[in-house]
Amino acid sequence: MAEPESSTAAAGGSRLRNAFGGVLCAFTLLLIGVLAFSIRLFSVIKYESVIHEFDPYFNFRVTQFLSKNGIYEFWNWFDDRTWYPLGRVIGGTVYPGLTLTAGTIWWLLNSLNIPLSVETVCVFTAPIFSANASWATYLLTKEAKGTGAGLMAAAILAMVPSYISRSVAGSYDNEAVAIFALIFTFYLYVKTLNTGSLFYATLNALSYFYMVCSWGGYTFIINLIPMHVLLCIVTGRYSSRLYIAYAPLVILGTLLAALVPVVGFNAVMTSEHFASFLVFIILHVVALVYYVKGLLTPRLFKVAMTLVITVGLAVCFAVVAILIALVASSPTKGWSGRSLSLLDPTYASKYIPIIASVSEHQPPTWPSYFMDINMLAFLIPAGIISCFLPLSDASSFVVLYLVTAVYFSGVMVRLMLVLAPAACILSGIALSEAFDVLTRSVKYQLSKLFDDSPAASGNSSAESSSASTTSTNSAKYETRSEKTKTAPKEKPSKKNWKKEKEVAESIPVKPKKEKKLLVLPMEASVLGILLLIVLGGFYVVHCVWAAAEAYSAPSIVLTSRSRDGLHVFDDFREAYAWLSHNTDVDDKVASWWDYGYQTTAMANRTVIVDNNTWNNTHIATVGTAMSSPEKAAWEIFNSLDVKYVLVVFGGLVGYPSDDINKFLWMVRIGGGVFPHIKEPDYLRDGNYRVDAQGTPTMLNCLMYKLCYYRFVETDGKGFDRVRGYEIGKKHFKLTHFEEVFTTHHWMVRIYKLKPQKNRVRGKLKKLKSGSKARSTNAAGRKNPWQ
Amino acid sequence: MPRATSDAKLLIQSLGKAYAATPTNLKIIDLYAVFAVATALIQVVYMGIVGSFPFNSFLSGVLSCIGTAVLAVCLRIQVNKDNKEFKDLPPERAFADFVLCNLVLHLVIMNFLG
């Protein structure tokens, strides 16, 4: 900071120091990148190099297709192996950023004669991009608060658990690259705002394009940046740099977003984007006002203002009225379901069970905040305060980002991921400011200790006049930030904290007393530094624990530790391998939608529904089949040309997220479309249970039968380890399904639909009339596939 | 009322006088921007009469014009001598940025025309 004041004699030395600092900084960044990459490798070391969970399997399959068939085939890809018999246009409904990125990396490596498999590249894409994300965080924080804060924030982001949970090696999901794109876009926006360079504005638009390609969360950017622009205008911080940062971004960004097939005309048609256009117009009005203000004398300007306001307001009202009429005429008011459930957290549970059924769309609990951002939650307030002390455009943006991200994380667990970078940036700022103050005071105290009075008095007399004004300011500011920073420390520091508080209170009492005001007592600051280091140490320990234990499980391979050692449950892959080896290529496999992506990717069989929940009716059909009695279910599945039915059952080993636990959602979603499925039929006094108290509807539905068929043979009692009781109906036979495969731990069970019975003349008539009677009984809608 | 009209007259006069003092190159940029906006308006009117059927064509046409105007305004802000914020930005650099941004814009538009 003091570089401009250094004299010519010291110029050489300072240049050398700058160069040294630059090298050190680059080296630190490199280490941070390595840290970010390597902390995410626990999953590979502890398990193996596999793709995790559900969605990553789809992304992996798309990447395989891309690397095999090229980009043009990819855009036109119609996938007939999912959503049978509808199929899905993959090229037009997928965010292509992630697959294109991994595909490009793979292609690049292969053309350099480094023969890696597509899977390896996919597994390691997320760690690579988290290193990029921490560098982007460095850049963004540097724009806001300087290099030190930047390094701190980058180091914190490299290991924040919230981000680790989405980007461990193998977690090949959109968020892996999207968080990097998000931070980088924000950095370029702030950079443009600080420099006013059109070049950065162009880069900003391109980076926004990458974000649009990667994740649906791009709407966060296109709403946050207009909010910030509006904030700047309202608080009177309009500058021509703001215009350059925003106006080209809207035009270029809209066009670029419209280029992505999955967004298309939505970029100008849906309400998520209207805010940006509205602010675009407002910005132009404001820019014009400022321009005219510069031309005119104040008196004339007042006249012009009255004139413009009367005319302008009328026009504005007309435009707004038209817009509201247009938006209101569309059924959802132009908002998509997911965005609406963000604005109104209760929306999804009321109207869209399929969104509410996903666990990551639930609101988070308080412990999950502590788990995911740990001590950052306590450092954020300090960071906000130090952002406000000299409030710049950049720091106000960071604060705004944090505030909105906190709100969104409160709505959905999944959006904790958006909060994490903001929390890292602000805590990085807080920590670096705290260290700054503490080390400065230590340095000052040391220098005073060694070369006592002569130099100090000479210095202070010369500087006191100029420094006194600034020192009072900074003293106040330091004490304030110090207070907030020591507050979040652990309990043992309480005594120390009190002492510091006393110091803090004593300082403003006598504000003009030379430079001494700038500093804290030696012991307090040394203790503060130590405690901050300890705090950081705890954070690192927590992060490593989270990375190693909590977030590295691939969820297709499960392990459990018991007295007799480590158990590995590899049932999923066993089942999918069985399917791919023992069934016909074109056989259709029905399962609940959670397992759709994995079945297509690992077993290469056609599925009825999958995790891309684009067709609610189709999912409801499968849900209805699962919650119907065996015969009706057989009819539905047969009409869908299904050969095999796959259920996931955890009752034997105690795997809690199995189909029985998800079953109520099947009932709800099925009942939302086919009203003859009623949720109360499956509940006994409002309780969901499958023991002897369960309702007959529950104990006779297909899901129950497929899960518990022959279960009693395992231990003689039929004790369900997940639910913790014996099941209700133990001995029964299947008439329309036959068991073909059950995995080692019974986690996946595969059934085959029995072929239709040979028709006997007399029976045919009876059967027909029977089914007709049933279909008229079923109120309202029928299965559309019959 | 007469006071208001006289005020308005005075306003227009002083606006005109103040604007006449701007350098020629800025005036040229202004003309360019105004022309682009006028073209956009014509397209919107045309859309209102004929309909917006090839919507991407309409969109790229209008956004091309508005984008050009916005970039021109950005250039004008940067090369304006009175603007203290951009004193150490040479006009050549500003123009190079402007050209780059325009290139990107029109590449995108050509892609989007369909």
Is 50 exceeded by the pLDDT of residue B114? yes
Predicted local distance difference test score (pLDDT) of residue A10: 57
Predicted local distance difference test score (pLDDT) of residue A333: 56
Residue B105 lies in a domain: yes
Cβ proximity of A736 and A634 under 8 Å: yes
How far does the CA of residue B63 sit from the closest CA of chain A (Å)? Answer: 7
Cβ proximity of A427 and A149 under 8 Å: no
Is 80 exceeded by the pLDDT of residue A299? no
* Residue A111 buriedness (CB in 10 A; 0-12 / 13-18 / 19+): exposed
Contacts of A550 (CB under 8 A, 6+ apart): A161, A165, A371
The interface predicted TM-score of the complex, written ipTM, equals 0.92
Predicted local distance difference test score (pLDDT) of residue A596: 87
Percent of chain A, pLDDT > 70? 82
Rounded Cα distance between A234 and A247, Å, is 17
Q: Predicted confidence band at B88 (pLDDT cuts at 50, 70, 90)?
A: confident
Predicted local distance difference test score (pLDDT) of residue A329: 65
CB nearest A198 (choices: B11, B67, B101): B101
How far does the CA of residue B74 sit from the closest CA of chain A (Å)? Answer: 6
pLDDT digits over B38-54, tens only? 999 999 999 889 887 88
CB nearest A196 (choices: B82, B85, B105): B85
DSSP β-bridge partners for residue A558: A569
Residue-wise DSSP of B48-113: HHH---SHHHHHHHHHHHHHHHHHHHHHHHHH-TT-GGGTTS-HHHHHHHHHHHHHHHHHHHHHHH
Is 70 exceeded by the pLDDT of residue A319? yes
Give the residue extent of every domain in chain A: 567-777
Rounded Cα distance between A230 and A242, Å, is 10
The lowest-confidence range among A188-192, A493-497, A552-556 is A493-497
Query: Number of folded domains in chain B?
Result: 1
Structure tokens that stand for A481 in this block = 């930030």
Q: Contacts for A101-108 with beta carbons within 8 Å, 24 or more apart?
A: A101/A125, A101/A129, A101/A177, A101/A214, A102/A59, A102/A63, A102/A172, A103/A63, A103/A66, A103/A67, A103/A71, A106/A63, A106/A67, A107/A67
The lowest-confidence range among A266-275, A481-490, A565-574, A622-631 is A481-490
Rounded Cα distance between A502 and A497, Å, is 9
How far does the CA of residue B106 sit from the closest CA of chain A (Å)? Answer: 10
Partners of residue B60 in chain A, C-beta under 8 Å: 255
Cβ proximity of A740 and A724 under 8 Å: no
Q: Predicted confidence band at A424 (pLDDT cuts at 50, 70, 90)?
A: very high
Q: Is A296 helix (H, G, I), strand (E, B) or coil?
A: coil
Run of H or E including A607: strand A606-607
Structure tokens that stand for A49 in this block = 């190099």
* Gyration radius (Cα) of chain A, Å: 31
Is 60 exceeded by the pLDDT of residue A526? yes
Q: Who has greater pLDDT, A339 or A304? A: A304
Predicted local distance difference test score (pLDDT) of residue A36: 92
Q: What does the pLDDT average to over A200-225? A: 92
Rounded Cα distance between A371 and A366, Å, is 9
Is 60 exceeded by the pLDDT of residue A357? yes
Q: Could you give phi then psi for residue A478, rounded to 5 degrees?
A: -65, -45
Partners of residue A310 in chain B, C-beta under 8 Å: none
Partners of residue A258 in chain B, C-beta under 8 Å: 56, 59, 112
Contacts of B75 (CB under 8 A, 6+ apart): A198, B29, B94, B95, B98
Contacts of A506 (CB under 8 A, 6+ apart): none
Rounded Cα distance between A250 and A320, Å, is 20
Rounded Cα distance between A707 and A732, Å, is 12
Report which DSSP code applies to A756: P
Q: What does the pLDDT average to over B86-100? A: 87
Identity (one letter) of the amino acid at A551?
Y
Chain A interface, best mutation among B71, B87, B113, by max A CB count within 10 A: B71
Residues A78, A84, A85, CA angle at the centre, nearest 5°? 90
Residue B29 lies in a domain: yes
Chain A interface, best mutation among B5, B9, B74, by max A CB count within 10 A: B74
Q: Is A364 helix (H, G, I), strand (E, B) or coil?
A: coil
What kind of fold does domain A567-777 have according to CATH? Rossmann fold (3.40.50)
Predicted local distance difference test score (pLDDT) of residue A404: 92
Is 50 exceeded by the pLDDT of residue A500? no
Rounded Cα distance between A540 and A573, Å, is 34
Rounded Cα distance between A752 and A758, Å, is 18
Q: Is A752 helix (H, G, I), strand (E, B) or coil?
A: strand
DSSP β-bridge partners for residue A749: A647, A742
DSSP β-bridge partners for residue A589: A607, A644
pLDDT digits over A74-116, tens only? 888 888 888 888 888 888 888 999 999 999 999 999 999 988 8
Domain encompassing residue B33 = 24-113
pLDDT digits over A443-468, tens only? 888 888 877 654 444 444 334 333 33
Does the beta-carbon distance from A295 to B15 stay under 8 Å? yes
Predicted local distance difference test score (pLDDT) of residue A460: 40
Predicted local distance difference test score (pLDDT) of residue A331: 54
Predicted local distance difference test score (pLDDT) of residue A689: 83
Predicted local distance difference test score (pLDDT) of residue B4: 66
DSSP β-bridge partners for residue A568: A559
For β-strands A719-720 and A725-726, DSSP reports them as antiparallel
Q: Could you give phi then psi for residue A666, rounded to 5 degrees?
A: -60, -45
Q: Predicted confidence band at A578 (pLDDT cuts at 50, 70, 90)?
A: very high
Q: Who has greater pLDDT, A26 or A353? A: A26
Predicted local distance difference test score (pLDDT) of residue A476: 41
Beta strands in A37-167 (DSSP E): 78-79, 88-89
Does the beta-carbon distance from A239 to B11 stay under 8 Å? no
CA proximity to A181, closest of A224, A211, A160, A158? A211
Q: What does the pLDDT average to over A198-209? A: 93
Is 80 exceeded by the pLDDT of residue A375? yes
A259: closest chain B residue by CA = B112
In the block, tokens 């369909």 appear at B114
Predicted local distance difference test score (pLDDT) of residue A184: 94
Structure tokens that stand for A241 in this block = 């740099």
Is 60 exceeded by the pLDDT of residue A776? no
Q: Is A750 helix (H, G, I), strand (E, B) or coil?
A: strand
Q: Predicted confidence band at B72 (pLDDT cuts at 50, 70, 90)?
A: very high
Cβ-based interface (< 8 Å): residues of A facing B: 196-199, 201-202, 205-206, 239-241, 243-244, 247-248, 251-252, 254-256, 258-259, 265, 268, 287, 292, 294-297, 300, 303-304, 307
Measured CA distances, B36 to A248, A286, B28 (Å) = 15, 20, 12
HSE of A71, CA atoms in CB hemisphere, 13 A: 9
In the block, tokens 């604060």 appear at A399
Rounded Cα distance between A422 and A403, Å, is 9
Run of H or E including A725: strand A725-726
Is 50 exceeded by the pLDDT of residue A619? yes
Partners of residue B105 in chain A, C-beta under 8 Å: 251-252, 255
Residue-wise DSSP of A653-695: TT-SSSHHHHHHHHHHHHHHH-TTS-GGGG-BTTB---STTS-
Predicted local distance difference test score (pLDDT) of residue A455: 45
Predicted local distance difference test score (pLDDT) of residue A457: 43
Structure tokens that stand for A43 in this block = 């999953």
Residue B18 lies in a domain: no
Neighbours of A281 (CB within 10 A): 12
Round the average pLDDT of chain B to a whole number and report it: 86
Contacts of A784 (CB under 8 A, 6+ apart): A617, A621
CA proximity to A134, closest of A116, A109, A154? A154
Round the average pLDDT of chain A to a whole number and report it: 81
Q: Could you give phi then psi for residue A406, rounded to 5 degrees?
A: -60, -45
Structure tokens that stand for A264 in this block = 């298309």
Does the beta-carbon distance from B67 to A248 stay under 8 Å? yes
Predicted local distance difference test score (pLDDT) of residue A204: 94
pLDDT digits over A19-62, tens only? 888 899 999 999 999 999 999 999 888 888 888 888 899 999 99
Establish whether the linkage from the previous residue to B23 is cis, with ω within 30° of 0. Answer: no
Q: What does the pLDDT average to over A463-480? A: 40
In the block, tokens 């020591």 appear at A486
Rounded Cα distance between A471 and A466, Å, is 9
Report which DSSP code applies to A557: S
Q: What does the pLDDT average to over B6-28? A: 82
Predicted local distance difference test score (pLDDT) of residue A247: 92
Q: Is A635 helix (H, G, I), strand (E, B) or coil?
A: helix
Is 80 exceeded by the pLDDT of residue B3? no
Q: What share of chain A is helix, strand, coil (3-state, %, to 5)?
A: 70, 5, 25
Q: What does the pLDDT average to over A714-725? A: 83
Residue-wise DSSP of A8-39: STTHHHHHHHHHHHHHHHHHHHHHHHHHHHHG
